[in-house]
Chain A
Amino acid sequence: MARETTIRPPTDANGHHAVGQRVTRLEGPAKVTGRTVYADDMKLPGMVHAKVLYAPYAHALIKSMDTAAAEALSGVHSVITAMDLPEYARNDSNRRNLIFPDKEVLFYGQPLAAVLAEDPHVAEEAVGLIDVAYEVLPAVIDPVAAIEPGSPLVREPLGDVDRSEERGHVSVQSEETEQTDDRPTNIASTAPFRRGDVDASFAAADVIVENTWRSSMTHQSYIEPHSTIASYDVSGELNVWTSTQAPFYIRDELAMAFGILENRIRVTATEVGGGFGGKIYLHELLTAALAIKVQRPVKYIMSRKDDMLAATPAPFAHIELKTGMKKDGTLTALQAKLIYDSGAFPGASVLAGCILIGGYYKCDNLDIMGYEVLTNKVSVGALRAPAAHNATFAIERHMDIMARELGLDPLEVRLKNAVEEGDPMPNGQPYPRIGLRECLEAAADSRLWRDRREIESKSNRGVGIAVGGWLGGLQPASAIAALNKDGTVNITVGSADITGTNTSFQQIAAEVLNLPLDRVNVTYGDTRTAPYAGMSAGSKTLYTVGRAVKLACEDMRDQMFDLAKQRLEAEPEDMELANGQVQIKGAPDRAMTFARLGYLSTNFGAPFPAVVGRGAITARKNAPGFTAQIADVEVDPDTGDVTLHGFTIAQDVGFAINPLSVEGQMQGGASQGIGLALWEEMLYDEEGRLLNPNLLDYRLPTSRDLPPIETIIVEVPSEEGPFGARIVGEPSIVAGIAAIGNAIENAVGARVTESPFTPERIVRTLGKL
């Protein structure tokens, strides 16, 4: 388990010595000693702290804003309102292109002004002294009512909607249809998918199940709130240090917003204290604007309350689903209406929800309609496979209910219908090689599933299964591999490491170069020093940047072969890398060590050019990841309390470069799925005020709630991923609500149609309230 300094004997059929091994995190020692530097741990000379005024109404007009008392408070540097901001490319249709509104408040918690002070407490006190007069407007809170023709409008009609951030999370061959016609509506976009004849298929079905499934608005709840520092100086250089998954994306956005050349902006992704899709681009624009305005470094750390009010949580969804099945368990028809509450700006990944609800099973007859609906709530963003858990909740509850009505085994019914390579998604795009069936087979063989009859023989116990999946995002990526004088190797990438990807890159490099792990180190640079990488989102970092690292090391290998040619008197095809040297196949004593090559390519007057490998790729093929999850619950039918006794997750990861990290991703995502199933819910009142903006009332899973989560790694190689790896991070969250919902119904017969499955909802469903 300790970090390796010698090459292990090959342990897998392919002779791998570094990939496929359980390797501890490169950053482990810094993280366990408190030495890792997060954004809030940094201080810059002359730095001032920002605090933000958040709107106290969900929908209102700003009649006036008086900042005199705030400015007069001792210690206040300045108060910045919409009128005081430097010029930027404002577009009120997109959350990310609007710092402060000047007229209309669109959600409770919308940023309206900022105070700067050297002492953050002073800034906070001054925020309370800003005197704003509002004219309160009717707030549209319920997205289901909001799509009705007579509904009041959330806001002025949308203009040019930018979907670039959503594309970072999932890449599919479809587009939302933006609602830009003349008739004002709260529908931001629609996503229709049809095939076959749904009506005829329902008429011929042996069982039809129809239900409405509602899943709560939830928060990513990374333990580190959003944290950013920005600095701008007279030379025109903008520096941003921020807790983000997407440094290059932020650079590009800031360049466009302020008209600054991209090579004058340096975005450094500081260590991310949890992101889960929620840390892409939030108040970097605000913080940079403040720094440009006052020409001093500005630090803005959201409080937990700020973050819950005004970050980008995950949407509530209302899903009406009707499915039909033949007696033999063949799914024949699926009709769905999906309403995702996007909040006051577009951003809900309704497209992904629509594709997944009809994308797990072969079904010739589909009629799916998705609506992305605006309301006067905080606008949403990504949470680990955005929109997938809501849709999966619906279809995976239906599969169990239909199986039950037909007297069939729920796992067998899933296996019978599961999609395979070549089957079309609802958008017609064929699946590449995938491992959904293999996950189900692995689940069938798990201890929890084999023991389910015995478990369910105890009173109020139930075991439930559900599948889930995610398509993943695609973006180009690059990497650099440089040979040092002592023969060690530096890998440089541009992707923020949010899951342990740097350690996996180290393994990939050590594998290709046939080196011990400690001869390879990995750095992720800022946007001025690192080669380009897409955002660390959509589960694509290892899948794309990992390929680039592999290529960079292969390029380095080829350069070393070329340099060794003359001295070894041999051609590259006769050479190999082994034992830390370039050697002749079959004659390892004819060799040049990495250190010798390093010396000859770096020393004063050295004969060889520096050895720098380059890897650059574009990714065009998805490598979807599927999972099957099993929950074992006990439900108290009198109190509605649910105790989770066991949870098993099988997931196809293509090839586990680092099983230790892969298991961690599977367990972490599963625990979040369990949280969504049982506790997590942002509660809004009728006026659109968030009632639980803290981690006591917004209840996260604790250690007391969670038993150890059993993992089963399934490996169906992807076509393009490094060593066959496919997406890993996101699928694990997707199936939790459905698996637990199925288990609860199996335990006490309660068909709870709204998540989270709180004691109140369970007791109510049982007719006891």
Chain B
Amino acid sequence: MPKQLISLTINGTPREVTVEPSWTLLETTREALNLTGPKEGCGTGDCGACSMIVDGRLVTSCLMLAPQANGRRVTTIEGLQTNGTLDPVQQAFIETGGLQCGFCIPGMIMAARDLLDRNDNPSPKEIRDGLAGNLCRCTGYTKIYEAVELAAQRIRGGD
């Protein structure tokens, strides 16, 4: 199949990129756009390490083909900081110890960010449900729940 030219807005910057039609969005960002934050843990959408936000929706980018991202706005973990300042979710993960090996974190933080974008005052159950598509093998999730609660509190302005 011939290569395709797609255009997308990645972390706020419009980019054009030539892809094989069979490439996933994950491969496109990692290999063609040199954004290696998102990780491949399974390649089958089960672990969530490749999670990105596409047009306001959380997607497992290992299951999305690059041409499907044509014309869309994509945010990866690299796009969360603003002017060199960490997003409250990123900061909270550091402070509560919600990260260990860190391999799931680029996806986990995107899932947490997506959850808080929809609901800035989630209940403990809503946090657990909201992160259920992202596997972490290191933490047992406890400190991740604490991170999301802390970030939610700060986003609401109750720091």
| Interface, chain A (partner B; CB < 8 A) | 1-2, 22, 24-25, 27-38, 40-41, 121, 220-225, 271-276, 303-304, 498-500, 660-661, 663-664, 667-672, 674, 694-696, 700-704, 706, 708-709
Task: Tell me if A695 and B46 are in contact (CB < 8 A).
Answer: yes
Task: Tell me if B100 and A223 are in contact (CB < 8 A).
Answer: no
CB B28 to nearest CB in A, in angstroms, measures 13
Q: Which of B96-131 contact A (CB under 8 A)?
A: 97, 99-106, 109, 124, 127-129, 131
In the bound complex, how far is the Cα of B101 from the Cα of A36, in angstroms? Answer: 10
User: A660-B97, A695-B47 given as contacts; is B76 within 8 A of A700 (CB)?
Assistant: no
List A contacts of B104 (CB < 8 A).
223
Task: Tell me if A703 and B94 are in contact (CB < 8 A).
Answer: no
8 additional contacts (CB under 8 A) given A38-B103, A41-B36: A24-B97, A25-B97, A32-B94, A34-B76, A223-B39, A223-B136, A274-B138, A703-B129
List B contacts of A661 (CB < 8 A).
97
Task: Tell me if B44 and A667 are in contact (CB < 8 A).
Answer: no
List A contacts of B43 (CB < 8 A).
303-304
Max chain B C-beta neighbours (<10 A), residue from A220, A273, A499: A273
Task: Tell me if A706 and B140 are in contact (CB < 8 A).
Answer: yes
- Interface residue B67 (Cβ < 8 Å from any Cβ of A): no
In the bound complex, how far is the Cα of B76 from the Cα of A670, in angstroms? Answer: 31
Residue in B closest to A225 when the chains form the complex, CB atoms:
B41
The 9 closest A-B pairs by CB, nearest first: A34-B37, A671-B140, A273-B103, A31-B102, A28-B94, A34-B77, A667-B140, A695-B46, A32-B90
List B contacts of A696 (CB < 8 A).
44, 46
User: A34-B78, A696-B44 given as contacts; is B36 within 8 A of A708 (CB)?
Assistant: no
In the bound complex, how far is the Cα of B30 from the Cα of A232, in angstroms? Answer: 26
Q: Which of B22-58 contact A (CB under 8 A)?
A: 22, 30, 35-44, 46-47, 49
CB B60 to nearest CB in A, in angstroms, measures 12
In the bound complex, how far is the Cα of B146 from the Cα of A22, in angstroms? Answer: 15
Task: Tell me if B38 and A34 are in contact (CB < 8 A).
Answer: yes
In the bound complex, how far is the Cα of B44 from the Cα of A220, in angstroms? Answer: 18
Task: Tell me if B97 and A223 are in contact (CB < 8 A).
Answer: no
Contact of A24 among B40, B81, B94 (CB under 8 A): B94
List A contacts of B138 (CB < 8 A).
274, 664, 668
- Interface residue B144 (Cβ < 8 Å from any Cβ of A): yes
List A contacts of B140 (CB < 8 A).
667-672, 674, 701, 706, 709
CB B96 to nearest CB in A, in angstroms, measures 8
Max chain A C-beta neighbours (<10 A), residue from B76, B128, B134: B128
CB A305 to nearest CB in B, in angstroms, measures 8
User: A225-B41, A703-B131 given as contacts; is B95 within 8 A of A1 (CB)?
Assistant: yes
List B contacts of A225 (CB < 8 A).
41
Task: Tell me if A33 and B81 are in contact (CB < 8 A).
Answer: yes
List A contacts of B134 (CB < 8 A).
703
Contact of A664 among B35, B40, B143 (CB under 8 A): B143
List A contacts of B46 (CB < 8 A).
694-696
Contact of A272 among B30, B86, B101, B129 (CB under 8 A): B101
Task: Tell me if B132 and A703 are in contact (CB < 8 A).
Answer: yes
Can you list 6 A-B contacts with CB-CB less than 8 angstroms, sorted by A residue number?
Answer: A32-B86, A33-B86, A34-B77, A221-B137, A701-B140, A704-B129
List A contacts of B135 (CB < 8 A).
223, 695, 700, 702
In the bound complex, how far is the Cα of B44 from the Cα of A500, in angstroms? Answer: 30
Max chain B C-beta neighbours (<10 A), residue from A41, A694, A703, A709: A703
User: A32-B93, A667-B140, A668-B140 given as contacts; is B127 within 8 A of A703 (CB)?
Assistant: yes
Task: Tell me if B101 and A33 are in contact (CB < 8 A).
Answer: no
CB B41 to nearest CB in A, in angstroms, measures 4
Task: Tell me if B103 and A276 are in contact (CB < 8 A).
Answer: no
Task: Tell me if B99 and A274 are in contact (CB < 8 A).
Answer: no
List B contacts of A224 (CB < 8 A).
39, 41, 101, 103
Task: Tell me if B139 and A33 are in contact (CB < 8 A).
Answer: no
CB B34 to nearest CB in A, in angstroms, measures 9
CB B16 to nearest CB in A, in angstroms, measures 21
List B contacts of A706 (CB < 8 A).
128, 140-142
User: A1-B95, A664-B100 given as contacts; is B44 within 8 A of A273 (CB)?
Assistant: no
Task: Tell me if A31 and B99 are in contact (CB < 8 A).
Answer: yes
List A contacts of B90 (CB < 8 A).
32-33
